[in-house]
């Protein structure tokens, strides 16, 4: 398998230069960062939450961080958030392997919230739609194309 077709199309349509990083199969962002020898601070993991209105949203933060839900709730501004189960969101990313969704929320009709620590990096790396490839792009390109809301909701190790 290669990049999810919609991911590749999105990057090309947006004129984003990208690098595909192939790696041994890994299922968590921390594992993927480790097998690719990329800092967990640069690897963007995507966590799906549902708002009280059942709207799926993406929280994107460094692989080595955890979401502080109350801070994310304040940033989202729609009441309590509920962490999504994989079975609930798998259908939202039809060409992606479960749990390997890229943080390109506007591609999937979802709002994106990025932890400020990722916004401080020149580049970010994220899942390409499968558990064997990642994409590296300039953060400025990500920000331009995705238009995320940036805030402080991650807690580091």
What confidence tens digit (pLDDT) does each residue in 36-76 have? 888 888 899 999 999 999 999 999 999 999 999 999 999 99
Query: b/e string for 58-87 if b means 16 or more Cβ within 10 A?
Result: bbbbbbbbebebeebbebbeeeebeebeee
pLDDT for 1 beyond 60: no
In the sheet that 123-127 helps form, which strands lie side by side, from edge to edge? 19-22, 133-138, 123-127
Q: Alpha carbon 140 to chain centroid distance?
A: 15
Global confidence as pTM: 0.93
Q: Which pLDDT value is given to residue 139?
A: 97
Place of tokens 């921390």: 30
d(CA 151, CA 131): 27
What is the count of structural domains for the chain?
A: 1
Structural domain that includes position 25 = 5-155
3-state SS record for 10-63: HHHHCCCCCEEEECCCCCCHHHHHHHHCCCCCCEEEEEEEECCCCCEEEEEEEC
d(CA 131, CA 109): 22
Which CATH number characterizes residue 151's domain?
A: 3.90.960.10
- Using a pLDDT cut of 70, give the percent of the chain over it: 99
């Amino acid at each position: 398998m290669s990049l999810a077709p919609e991911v590749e199309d999105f990057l090309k349509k947006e004129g984003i230069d990208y690098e595909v990083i192939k790696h041994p199969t890994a299922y968590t962002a921390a594992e993927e960062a480790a097998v690719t020898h990329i800092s967990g601070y640069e690897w963007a993991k995507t966590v799906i939450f549902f708002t009280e209105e059942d709207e799926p949203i993406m929280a994107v933060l460094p692989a080595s961080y955890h979401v502080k839900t109350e801070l994310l709730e304040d940033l989202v501004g729609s009441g309590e958030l509920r962490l999504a189960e994989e079975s609930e969101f798998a259908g939202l990313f039809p060409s992606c392997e479960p749990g390997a969704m890229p943080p390109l929320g506007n591609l999937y009709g979802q709002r994106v919230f990025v932890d400020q620590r990722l916004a401080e990096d020149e580049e970010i790396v994220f899942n390409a739609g499968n558990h064997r490839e990642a994409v590296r792009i300039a953060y400025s390109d990500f920000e331009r194309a995705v238009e995320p809301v940036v805030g402080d909701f991650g807690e580091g190790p």
